[in-house]
Amino acid sequence: MTAYVFPGQGAQFVGMGKELYDNYPEAKIMFEKANEILGFSITNKMFSGTDADLKETNITQPAIFLHAVIACKVLNEGVVPQMVAGHSLGEFSALAVAGALSFEDGLRLVSQRANAMQKACVQNPSGMAVVMGFDDEKANAVCETIDEVVAPANYNCPGQLAISGTFKGLELAGEALKAAGAKRVLMLNVGGAFHSPLMIPAQEELAQAIKKTEFNIPVCPVYQNYTAQPETNPETIKINLIQQLTAPVLWTKTIQNMVKNGATRFVEFGPGEVLQGLIRKIETGVEVMGKR
């Protein structure tokens, strides 16, 4: 069984999606439609902008969504996916590909999510760090001892956990984690503490937008970040999508559950190869490839 997976923030690069735009008429139509929906030329930012442009959350998120969804649309030759999942932002790409969201509504929600998160980052200056070579449960226990906001954000693969928090919280947690035996703790180049309680203002704003948007029954199960479980009920999908913004991404469990339920092949659509690397570390016996 083939599973489609979609990347989150951090996979962007200058020139992303240009080959699709140039070589597939359907892709060009979708990109131009996106420019119209967003009210500015995101294709200019994607194809010929700067690294700095693409690191702005309100550009990064719709850019990655567009690249992933359009790549899947034109490169999978009409094959209906059997199961899908996306990492963080990538969950919106997964929902659009599975038909739970229309392309247009998916893009609007991603744009609203990005703007809400950007505001929350300004309101609560904060960041993220990656913890390497340490047990997840032990890392959780260390974070709970810190007298600042700091919490697990992404369970990426065995031995790799991202944490989110205030800068002071990350500093204190980093010192405590290294003292407890973590191999490395590295700050990430992101705008804020994603998937943590510091995103509550963004969550409240996004919840209003999600509640007003029509969701359909997807053509296949969508494995969601919040539960790592397959979902097809539109109301449950909406609830989990709202919770995702302040809760950790359960990526390791998601991939394990997909394999348990029959996935033998994973195809990553969109920019970058991050998910392919993570999947190989989670499940060694599956085929992994990318299309962009």
| 127-132 and 160-165 beta bridge pairing | antiparallel
Contact 37, 108 (CB under 8 A): yes
Residue with tokens 């490395």: 184
- The closest of 6, 14, 85, 75 to 269, measured between CA atoms, is 6
Sign, CA torsion 169/175/179/184:
positive
Q: Which of 87, 88, 93, 196 is catalytic?
A: 88
Contact 183, 134 (CB under 8 A): yes
Tell me, yes or no, if 195 is annotated catalytic. Answer: yes
Contact 224, 231 (CB under 8 A): yes
- The closest of 52, 57, 43, 37 to 15, measured between CA atoms, is 43
Q: Which of 87, 111, 164, 195 is catalytic?
A: 195
Contact 126, 195 (CB under 8 A): no
Tell me, yes or no, if 111 is annotated catalytic. Answer: no
Contact 36, 60 (CB under 8 A): no
Q: Active-site residues: which are they?
A: 88, 195
